[in-house]
Structure 1
C-alpha cells in the first residue's frame, strides 16, 4: 500500500532552510528527480507531475527574500501565491505581515507539502487546489509567482493570467532565474540576487531578478 502523501513527504525529504531565505524551514529533497522516481515506484504509476514541491527553486527564493526585506509590499494586504510549490513564497508573505495568504497549486502532494511547511513555520496559509489559469484571477491585492516561465507552454498560459490580475488592480511580482520564456520587456526590475540553487539545475548559483508588472 502506498504511503499517504504526508507520510511520503516526511519519509523522502529532510527539514532544511532555504539557502537564500534561512528564516524559513522546508521539507526538501536532495534530488527532485530521484524523488519523482520514488513516487512513481511507490504509487505504481507513471506520468506523474514532477514533484516541484521538493525544492526551493531560485526564482521563489529571490521573491521570498524580497518580501522579507521589503515587507511593506504585502503587510496588511491579501496575497495569492500562484503555483506555490513548497509554499516558500507564501510563507514569506505571511511572515512579512500579509493579512491573508492563499497558496495556489494543482498538485495534491504540493498542497500537502505546503500544509506541512506552513505548520513547521507557524504560519497560517490557505491552499487553493485548482487550475486557476483559465478563470478570472482570485481577488487578491498582491499576486506572486516564483519561477513560472520555465517552458513556453507554461509561460503562454501564465502571462495572460498575470496581466488580467494586474488589470483588476492587483500588484503582480514574479521571481525569475533568467528563464528563456520570461518576457523581461513587459516587466520592471525591482531587485536582483545571486541565489544558491538545487543540484539538478547544473550550476551552483543563479542570478535571479524580482520583476513587477507595471
Structure 2
C-alpha cells in the first residue's frame, strides 16, 4: 500500500533542480556501496524546509539517512546471500528501504518493506526503483500481528526504552514461531544482552547528526 501524495511529493523533490543541504541526492551508501539511496544532504535542514513549505509538522524523515544498524544488516545480507536466497523476507520499520533492497539483491524470493510513515513507504518505492529490484511496500503498524515471512529484519529499531518495550516482544514472538530474526543494533544501550546471540559485528561509518565519532561498532543480533 502506497500513499500517492507522499510518493508524488518525493518524486518532485528528487526531480527538482539544484543542490544544497536541503536537497535529496542519489548516492552510494557508505558501508554498502552496492545500494544507492535518495538521501538528504542534511536531514534536519531538509525537514525544516519541507515543514515550512507544508505549513504544518511532518514526521521526522528517518528514511532520509542511512542509519548504522541498517547499514550493518544490509552488509551482512550481501556478504551472506544464503540467508535470503529463495526466502520470504520482511523488513520492519524499513525507513529508506536499504535492508529490503539488500535482501532483494541477495536473492530473496519476495521482500516486503513495512513502515508507519507514508514518506518512508514512498522512499522505499523510489529507492527500490533506483536499484532495479522488486520490493513490496506496506504501511501501518504490524506489531500486533503474526509474521508471514521466513526472515524478519529490523535495523536500528531499538533506539529507546519505549521502542524496545513495543518492538522486542514482537521480534521474540516471531522467533518463537520459527521465523529467523536478525537485528542491526549500534549499541545505543537499550537492548538487553540476555536472550541475544551476537551473529556479527561491523565498524560502520555514520552520517548521524550530533555524533562525535565517524564510526560506530554495530552488532547483528539474533534473539533466542
Report the TM-score, using the length of structure 2 for normalisation: 0.90
Which of 111, 124, 138 is 2:121 aligned to?
A: 111
The count of residues paired between Structure 1 and Structure 2 equals 211
**Which residue in the other structure is 1:5 paired with?**
10
Note the 1:183-194 alignment, pairs <5 A: 183-194=192-203
Shift of 1:144: 0.2
Is 1:157 aligned to 2:162, yes or no?
no
Q: Structure 1: how far apart are the matches of 2:119 and 2:163? A: 20
Residues 149, 180 of structure 1: 8 Å contact kept? no
- Of residues 143-152 and 2-11 in structure 1, the stretch that sits farther from structure 2 once superposed is 2-11
Question: Which consecutive residues of structure 2, in runs of 5 or more, have no partner in the other structure?
Answer: 1-5, 17-22
Report how far residue 201 of structure 1 moved.
4.5
Match of 1:54 among 53, 64, 85: 64
Gaps of 5+ in 1: none
Moved over 4 A (4+): none
Q: Does the CA-based 8 Å contact 1:10-1:27 persist in structure 2?
A: no
Secondary structure at the residue paired with 1:103? strand
Q: Does 1:79 align with 2:84?
A: no
Q: Structure 1 residues 9, 129: closer, same or farther in 2, change over 3 A?
A: farther
Q: Please, what TM-score do these two structures have when normalized by structure 1?
A: 0.94
- Stretch moving more, 81-90 or 30-39: 30-39
Tell whether the 8 Å contact from 1:173 to 1:213 is kept in structure 2 after alignment: yes
> Secondary structure of 1:4's match?
helix
Matched, 1:17 2:28: yes
Aligned residues: CA RMSD: 1.5
